[in-house]
Chains A and B, each alone.
Chain A
Amino acid sequence: MQKYVTRFCKKISNPMVILTIAILAFLIYTIILPLIEILVTTLMDVNGTEGFSLEGWKSIFASDISQALLYSPMTQTFQIGIFVSIISLVLGSLLAWIVVRTDLKYKKTISFFLVLPYMLPSWFNAFVWLIVFKNDRIGGQTGLVQAIFNISPPDWLSYGAVPIILSLSAHYYIFAFLLVGAALSSINSDVEESATILGAKTWGILRKITFPLVIPAVVSAFILIFSKSIGSFGVPALLGLPVRYYTLSTMIYSNISTGQQVTGYILSLVLIVSAIVVIWMNQKVISRRNYMTISGKGSKQKLISLGKWRIPTTIAIWLFIFCLSILPVLLLGIQTLLLRDGVYSLDNLTLHYWIGQSDPTIGNGIQGVFRNSRILSAFKNTVVVSFFAALIAAIIGLVIGYLITRNKEKWQFRLMDQLSYLPILIPSIAFSAIYLSMFAKPGVFLPSLYGTISILILITVVSELPLTTRTGTSSMIQISNELEEAGSVLGASWITRFRRIIMPLSKKGLLNGFILVFISAMKELDLLIMLVTPKTMTLTTYTFDLQEQGYTQTANAVVLIIVISIILVYTLVTIFGKIDITKGVSK
């Protein structure tokens, strides 16, 4: 008996155990409980029935509306997920390889611009697509293609699957670029050199050495891209609806927004379950191999010479950057200067929407953004939410990453891995509806959070955990156990080891996680729109209000403020914090 008590006490005082329990409790409270609540909502008191009933599920899976409600949107959702993943992975990895492994010039600048689309809200690509390729199907001003070449783009090019897939790929390739890039840059090129000495060809090296070593990064990127794209709402809403192309997310949104909560929740659960299947497959792939690439030994890389390919590659990359990073921001900027939307002429230019006094003849008397006091308070809220959410999410993500990589085999940690990944699959709109219900009332540990900044921070942290856990894991996976073992042999406690070995080596991962979350929190809309009140309004939710009321230019001016703030923060951290989210890629 005494023995068990001692063992128990010893276990309890082990920081790893306490940390594990704390993290698991946090994940269960913020992720599992909400999911259970969704599930219960779909089973109890549905459609006027009393008590338990499967009515809701039956009407979705087996009724005359199932095809329209579930099966066809689901097929289209997967179509999008698969194609976006393939395109993004190929594009992102290729760019990463060129930037990391070849002797291309101006790598830092190129990396900076290649990451820029990530700083624009994801629905923004859809806007730009319409500006360029809009045909006259939906009326209004036609796009640039039609205006310049006088050819009406066919519907399949203007709306539906093709533009949705391309718009999303143009946003999500960045995940592949960053993750694969980081993995590539940490490969010691000695391995490749030895292969060269032994007579292997470039292609052979790529296939047999480089590719297997970046597989974990590719899988991580695939998961992020796949789940982000199947859950995205803005892009399919803008580009899919005109040709009645529904995805699960647009279906969920339209159901929740018309008060068909149960249907929306069941569809959300379908999305979540699909995701679990994807994670499960991911774990099958990743747990079979060993991927330690930082071994405490120095790594140097020999760059591959581009030779006669230098000029075409450089041109292609800069063209790509222009279309994806510079043009959108330029178009956005010009748009805020147009007195009348869609009229591109010099005498239509104005600074009114930036600095103008209220003028009843323009835009219902709305003031320029620099005179608008609500912008300032929204700006403050945005910064507070983004900063704290990023800080907390990055730390939790790193700790989870550490625990998972060091204890891969144990079930608690596999559970932790899976749990931390779930939020990405809960569609934002369903997520915020559930949080509204869960945290609006005083709970077991918390007072009511409704109407406070805290609930915005909490939901952002939880929804970003999948990302920070991935960045945390991928930086931990590369820190070999040997280093810690060495510390252990020399008598260092776990705390000392974590502080002196793990923290310094993963500083990059921590800061990367922070910046990624900060940026993504600054442009988050869907998640927060139901939870804000006038006092806690953020810039994006204010943009949404403005857009809804038809103040397009003012709304875009606010978007531009968001984008510029993000770029500013990003540049400042790069210069003063000596970190760079593309560092793994462009060193």
Chain B
Amino acid sequence: MRKLLFVSLLILPLLFGCGNDTSEEASNKATEKASTEVKVESNESTEISFDTYETTDELYELAKEEGEVVFYTATSAGEQAGLAFEDAYPGVKVSVTKVSDPQIHERIQREHESGVNNADVIFGKGTNGSWANELLTNDYIMEYKPEEIMKHIDDPYKSYKGLPVISEIITIIYNTDHHDEPPFDNWWDLTTDEWTSKILFKDPLSAPDIQGLFMTMVKHSDDMEKAYEEKFGEPIELDGTENAGYEFIKRLLDNDAILMSSMGDTVDAVADSREDHSVVAIASTTKLRDVVQKDAAIGINIDLKPKVSVPGTSKLFVTSNVENIAATKLFIRYLTGGEDGTGEGFDSFNNPGTFSVRNDIEQDDLIPSLAELNLWEEDEQYFYENQDEMHNFLLKIQ
């Protein structure tokens, strides 16, 4: 019998022993949070909410008394900015997790269902409208759009769900060592023999942002149709697809486009390709930071027809259970560049190819600003409603 006890003791730690430190941790957090609440209640005159305004110094003082801000970000620049926060405001703690857009969605949903409200702030592109349509409408997350930041944001970004911070665009990236001029000026160029087996991009089935670009082309199929005529001098003949947008995607993939598992790898491949086999990638402009950081020979064509691309805007949301309101507000103000747009929190984002949504932040002039680029408008709602159809289309033509 004693032996049996021994065996069950060995199994037990799994069930209970490991659980112990969890509950301890949880109760620690609970007391932590409870004490914050008490403080806020007992001090009603300075009660803080997402609707009040405080100066940065006031927020800092309040935040020092609060617990940790938990931040989920889908961009690595967001991760760096998050990590830099603790140096900028000693005494205020932040915990940063970098996970993909759909995983943030998944986690928030799970956390809400389980009552373990870990996250305070989330930052990402919102998986083609699913954050806004599922997390926001179910009140798992909330919008926090402080006036002091919003007044520097123009239309259409102003009306987006969430607090927009940066945009990136998915367009054609080429090797600037091999070509003095961009070797293409129209999206339809990629469907010609010249580019057969020379176009790389992340597998669109697992890349919501590339699907976003494709859906925009479908939505603006009239633009795509005109661009085709401009390029080839004759009207397009559809080969079993619905419109010129779908037709482009089909012909692009039929041109032996090469799919990879990581977007970063596609851009690296362009930078490293040989002159006698110069490839292009359809990828995010954020990788243009390599031009300054790694001296990479990559560039984009800002005169691409019919449009360069569509912006993919990363937005901040807060969850519906934020306890450390002052710290959260301070953190968001820091990330967005502070009240006057000169805050160092934005430094991590300030790279070529990452575009500030705020109109008062000075950026490198390597690429024109968001307002100057010839872009389609981002339509999250359209993405949300059409993503299943795009997904099925991509499967069918595979």
Contacts and interface: CB of A to CB of B under 8 A. Distances in A.
Interface of A: 15, 18-19, 22, 26, 47, 64-65, 68-69, 136-142, 237-238, 241-242, 244, 246, 253-261, 340-342, 361, 363-364, 388, 391-392, 395-396, 399, 433, 436-437, 440-442, 445-454, 457-458, 461, 495, 498-499, 530, 533-535, 545, 547-550
A140 B272 contact: yes
B10 A137 contact: no
Contact of A449 (B7, B22, B95, B290): B22
B35 interface: no
Interface of B is mostly: helix
B40 interface: no
Interface stretch (B54-62, B164-172, B197-205, B302-310): B197-205
B212 to A, nearest CB: 11
A392 B111 contact: no
A396 B205 contact: no
Given A138-B258, A451-B116, A451-B118, A22 B273 contact: no
A446 B22 CA distance: 10
Contacts of B198: 139
Interface stretch (B232-240, B313-321, B338-346, B387-395): B387-395
Contacts of B251: none
Contacts of B116: 440-441, 448, 450-451
B398 to A, nearest CB: 5
Contacts of B395: 65, 68-69
A392 B11 contact: yes
Contacts of B207: 258
Given A140-B268, A548-B262, 11 more contacts: A136-B274, A257-B103, A440-B113, A442-B114, A446-B15, A452-B21, A452-B22, A461-B14, A499-B3, A534-B96, A550-B268
A453 B21 CA distance: 9
A367 to B, nearest CB: 12
Nearest to B289: A364
5 contacts: A19-B4, A141-B272, A449-B19, A495-B1, A547-B262
Given A258-B205, A258-B208, A548 B76 contact: yes
Contact of B114 (A15, A65, A255, A440): A440
B146 interface: no
A550 B391 contact: no
Contacts of A441: 113-116
Contacts of B206: 253-254, 257-258
Given A458-B14, A534-B96, A139 B200 contact: yes
A392 B14 contact: yes
B274 A142 contact: yes
Contacts of B4: 15, 18-19, 495
Given A15-B1, A451-B116, A259 B259 contact: no
B279 interface: yes
A50 to B, nearest CB: 16
Interface in B231-289: 258-262, 264-266, 268-274, 277, 279, 281
Contacts of A141: 272
Contacts of A256: 102
B269 A138 contact: yes
Interface of A is mostly: helix
A548 to B, nearest CB: 7
B131 to A, nearest CB: 10
Contacts of A388: 13, 18
A454 B1 contact: no
A449 B127 CA distance: 27
B269 A450 contact: no
B18 A453 contact: yes
A18 B293 CA distance: 63
A448 to B, nearest CB: 5
Contacts of B290: 550
Contacts of A68: 395-396, 398
Contacts of B273: 136, 139-140
A447 B115 CA distance: 11
A127 to B, nearest CB: 12
Interface of B: 1-4, 7-8, 10-11, 13-15, 18-19, 21-23, 25-26, 76, 95-100, 102-103, 105-107, 110-111, 113-116, 118, 127, 130, 197-198, 200, 203, 205-208, 211, 258-262, 264-266, 268-274, 277, 279, 281, 290, 293-294, 388, 391-392, 395-396, 398
B192 to A, nearest CB: 18
A253 B106 CA distance: 14
A64 B389 CA distance: 12
A392 B17 CA distance: 12
Given A399-B7, A445-B15, A237 B261 contact: yes
A549 B25 contact: no
A20 to B, nearest CB: 12
Contact of A436 (B21, B102, B107, B277): B107
Contacts of B271: 140
Contact of B260 (A242, A436, A451): A242
Contacts of A260: 391
A46 to B, nearest CB: 12
Contact of A140 (B23, B111, B118, B269): B269
A447 B26 contact: yes
Nearest to B281: A139
A138 B274 contact: no
A433 B18 contact: no
Contacts of B197: 137
Contacts of A364: 293
A436 B1 contact: no
Nearest to B274: A136
Given A258-B208, A392-B11, A137 B113 contact: no
Q: Which 10 A-B pairs rank lowest in CB-CB distance, beginning with the nearest?
A: A441-B114, A139-B269, A454-B18, A254-B206, A140-B269, A139-B279, A139-B273, A440-B114, A495-B3, A140-B272
A308 to B, nearest CB: 48
Contacts of A259: 102, 105-106, 127, 130, 208
B113 A392 contact: no
Nearest to B113: A441
A511 to B, nearest CB: 15
A22 B12 CA distance: 10
Nearest to B127: A259
Contacts of B13: 388, 392
Given A364-B293, A446-B19, A242 B398 contact: no
B203 A450 contact: no
A259 to B, nearest CB: 4
